[in-house]
Amino acid sequence: MQIELLKAYPHYIIEIARWYQSEWGDLDPANSIDVFVRRLWEFSNEGEIPVAFVACEHEKAVGACNIRLRREKEPNYEPWFAGLYVLPAFRKQGIGSALLAHAEKFAQKLGIETLYLSTPDQQKLYEQHGWREFDNTDFRGQRESIMQKRLR
Protein backbone atom coordinates (compact mmCIF):
# COMPACT_ATOMS: atom_id res chain seq x y z
CA MET A 1 0.00 0.00 0.00
CA GLN A 2 1.26 3.46 -0.84
CA ILE A 3 -0.01 6.90 0.08
CA GLU A 4 0.37 9.70 -2.42
CA LEU A 5 -0.86 13.20 -3.04
CA LEU A 6 -4.19 13.11 -4.84
CA LYS A 7 -2.64 15.61 -7.26
CA ALA A 8 -0.56 12.73 -8.66
CA TYR A 9 -3.68 10.58 -9.20
CA PRO A 10 -6.42 12.89 -10.50
CA HIS A 11 -8.17 9.97 -12.20
CA TYR A 12 -9.31 8.87 -8.70
CA ILE A 13 -11.14 12.13 -7.94
CA ILE A 14 -14.57 11.03 -9.21
CA GLU A 15 -14.31 7.69 -7.42
CA ILE A 16 -13.36 9.36 -4.13
CA ALA A 17 -16.14 11.93 -4.59
CA ARG A 18 -18.60 9.03 -4.86
CA TRP A 19 -17.29 7.55 -1.61
CA TYR A 20 -17.65 10.90 0.14
CA GLN A 21 -21.12 11.54 -1.23
CA SER A 22 -22.24 8.08 -0.16
CA GLU A 23 -20.73 8.45 3.32
CA TRP A 24 -21.49 12.10 4.13
CA GLY A 25 -23.80 13.41 1.42
CA ASP A 26 -26.89 13.14 3.62
CA LEU A 27 -25.46 15.67 6.09
CA ASP A 28 -26.17 18.45 3.60
CA PRO A 29 -28.43 18.17 0.53
CA ALA A 30 -26.05 20.51 -1.30
CA ASN A 31 -23.29 17.88 -1.09
CA SER A 32 -23.71 16.43 -4.56
CA ILE A 33 -21.00 14.41 -6.27
CA ASP A 34 -20.20 17.56 -8.27
CA VAL A 35 -19.56 19.48 -5.04
CA PHE A 36 -17.21 16.77 -3.79
CA VAL A 37 -15.44 16.62 -7.17
CA ARG A 38 -14.92 20.38 -7.16
CA ARG A 39 -13.62 20.28 -3.59
CA LEU A 40 -11.22 17.43 -4.36
CA TRP A 41 -9.84 19.37 -7.34
CA GLU A 42 -9.30 22.31 -4.98
CA PHE A 43 -7.45 19.94 -2.64
CA SER A 44 -5.17 18.67 -5.43
CA ASN A 45 -2.17 20.63 -4.22
CA GLU A 46 1.38 19.68 -3.44
CA GLY A 47 3.07 21.75 -0.76
CA GLU A 48 0.19 23.69 0.71
CA ILE A 49 -3.19 23.35 2.35
CA PRO A 50 -5.80 22.37 1.30
CA VAL A 51 -4.36 19.04 0.25
CA ALA A 52 -5.71 15.53 -0.28
CA PHE A 53 -4.07 12.12 -0.09
CA VAL A 54 -5.02 8.78 -1.60
CA ALA A 55 -4.06 5.29 -0.42
CA CYS A 56 -3.50 2.89 -3.30
CA GLU A 57 -3.07 -0.84 -3.37
CA HIS A 58 -2.35 -2.70 -6.61
CA GLU A 59 -3.25 0.40 -8.66
CA LYS A 60 -6.61 0.73 -6.91
CA ALA A 61 -7.69 3.60 -4.66
CA VAL A 62 -8.62 2.12 -1.28
CA GLY A 63 -8.72 5.18 0.97
CA ALA A 64 -8.40 8.94 1.14
CA CYS A 65 -8.17 11.90 3.50
CA ASN A 66 -7.47 15.60 3.37
CA ILE A 67 -6.32 18.62 5.30
CA ARG A 68 -8.38 21.76 4.84
CA LEU A 69 -7.93 25.27 6.14
CA ARG A 70 -11.10 25.55 8.18
CA ARG A 71 -14.60 24.32 8.75
CA GLU A 72 -17.42 26.86 8.56
CA LYS A 73 -18.89 25.82 11.92
CA GLU A 74 -15.62 26.24 13.87
CA PRO A 75 -13.75 29.19 12.35
CA ASN A 76 -11.47 29.55 15.40
CA TYR A 77 -9.75 26.22 14.82
CA GLU A 78 -7.55 25.53 11.82
CA PRO A 79 -6.39 23.56 9.93
CA TRP A 80 -8.64 20.49 9.86
CA PHE A 81 -7.91 16.85 9.17
CA ALA A 82 -10.99 15.53 7.38
CA GLY A 83 -12.44 13.10 4.89
CA LEU A 84 -10.78 9.96 6.25
CA TYR A 85 -12.41 7.14 4.33
CA VAL A 86 -11.30 3.57 3.64
CA LEU A 87 -13.25 1.19 1.43
CA PRO A 88 -15.11 -1.34 3.62
CA ALA A 89 -13.22 -4.33 2.18
CA PHE A 90 -9.91 -2.73 3.21
CA ARG A 91 -10.79 -1.65 6.74
CA LYS A 92 -9.06 -3.08 9.84
CA GLN A 93 -5.78 -3.29 7.90
CA GLY A 94 -4.15 -0.10 9.18
CA ILE A 95 -4.88 1.98 6.09
CA GLY A 96 -6.83 4.64 7.99
CA SER A 97 -4.06 4.88 10.57
CA ALA A 98 -1.45 5.15 7.82
CA LEU A 99 -3.40 7.93 6.09
CA LEU A 100 -3.73 9.78 9.40
CA ALA A 101 0.00 9.47 10.15
CA HIS A 102 0.89 10.58 6.62
CA ALA A 103 -1.31 13.68 6.89
CA GLU A 104 0.13 14.52 10.32
CA LYS A 105 3.69 14.28 8.96
CA PHE A 106 2.78 16.46 5.99
CA ALA A 107 1.27 19.10 8.29
CA GLN A 108 4.33 18.97 10.53
CA LYS A 109 6.63 19.63 7.55
CA LEU A 110 4.56 22.73 6.78
CA GLY A 111 5.19 23.99 10.31
CA ILE A 112 1.66 23.41 11.56
CA GLU A 113 1.60 23.11 15.33
CA THR A 114 -1.93 21.77 15.90
CA LEU A 115 -4.42 19.89 13.73
CA TYR A 116 -8.15 19.64 14.45
CA LEU A 117 -10.83 17.17 13.45
CA SER A 118 -14.42 16.33 14.22
CA THR A 119 -15.98 12.91 14.55
CA PRO A 120 -19.35 11.63 15.70
CA ASP A 121 -18.16 8.12 16.55
CA GLN A 122 -14.45 7.45 15.97
CA GLN A 123 -12.98 9.06 19.10
CA LYS A 124 -11.20 5.86 20.18
CA LEU A 125 -9.39 5.53 16.85
CA TYR A 126 -8.05 9.06 17.10
CA GLU A 127 -7.23 8.81 20.81
CA GLN A 128 -5.01 5.81 19.98
CA HIS A 129 -3.02 8.19 17.77
CA GLY A 130 -2.57 10.91 20.37
CA TRP A 131 -5.60 13.07 19.61
CA ARG A 132 -7.66 14.46 22.47
CA GLU A 133 -11.23 15.63 22.64
CA PHE A 134 -11.55 19.21 23.87
CA ASP A 135 -15.00 20.30 22.70
CA ASN A 136 -18.19 19.03 21.11
CA THR A 137 -20.79 20.51 18.84
CA ASP A 138 -23.91 19.81 16.86
CA PHE A 139 -22.99 19.85 13.19
CA ARG A 140 -25.86 19.63 10.73
CA GLY A 141 -27.99 17.83 13.28
CA GLN A 142 -25.31 15.38 14.37
CA ARG A 143 -23.44 15.47 17.70
CA GLU A 144 -19.68 15.52 17.10
CA SER A 145 -16.53 15.59 19.16
CA ILE A 146 -13.95 18.23 18.29
CA MET A 147 -10.46 16.82 18.74
CA GLN A 148 -6.97 18.21 18.44
CA LYS A 149 -3.43 16.97 18.18
CA ARG A 150 -0.34 19.02 18.88
CA LEU A 151 2.27 18.18 16.26
CA ARG A 152 5.16 20.14 17.79
**Tens digits of residue pLDDT in 106-120:** 999 999 999 999 999
Residue 120 · residue 126 · CB < 8 Å: no
- How far is Cα 121 from Cα 11, in angstroms, rounded to an integer? 30
- How far is Cα 152 from Cα 132, in angstroms, rounded to an integer? 15
- How far is Cα 127 from Cα 149, in angstroms, rounded to an integer? 9
Give the pLDDT band (50/70/90) at residue 72: low
Give the pLDDT band (50/70/90) at residue 74: low
* Percent over 70 (pLDDT), the chain: 96
Q: Where are the domains of the chain?
A: 2-150
Residue 95 · residue 63 · CB < 8 Å: yes
Give the pLDDT band (50/70/90) at residue 70: confident
For the whole model, what pTM was predicted? 0.92
Give the helix ranges, DSSP H, for the chain. 13-24, 33-42, 95-109, 123-127
CATH class of 2-150: alpha beta
